[in-house]
Amino acid sequence: MDSVMLHLMNDDYNHHMDVETALKQVCSMEEEIAQVTAMIAHTTGYCPIFEGNADEAKTLQEKLEDMGINTQITDVGSDPL
């Protein structure tokens, strides 16, 4: 199966700290990595947070979206719309 990329998308609804908390809980990111990831998504519009199996990406996406965090899955090397 081909790999996919899960991207954290910037939005105008979630507080920075809530995004960091979700990344730490769902993606097992260390605090510093979650902070940088959230900042990149905020300043550029998105940030890749996972590359791998489509089923794993979908599971992470569902968990993050249950927490109100906006994500998008793309083919590896493709930017989200």
For the segment 39-79, what is each residue's pLDDT rounded down to a tens digit?
Answer: 999 999 999 999 999 999 999 999 999 999 999 999 887 88
Question: Which residues neighbour 59 within 8 Å (Cβ) at sequence distance 6 or greater?
Answer: none
Number of independent structural domains in the chain = 1
Residue 39: CATH number of its domain: 3.30.1390.10
Tokens representing 55? 């089923």
Helices (H), the chain: 16-27, 31-44, 54-66
Residue 80 lies in a domain: no
By residue range, what is the domain housing residue 26?
3-75
User: Residues 1-53: pLDDT tens digits?
Assistant: 579 999 999 988 888 899 999 999 999 999 999 999 999 999 999 999 999 99
> Dihedral of CA 3/70/27/35: which sign?
positive
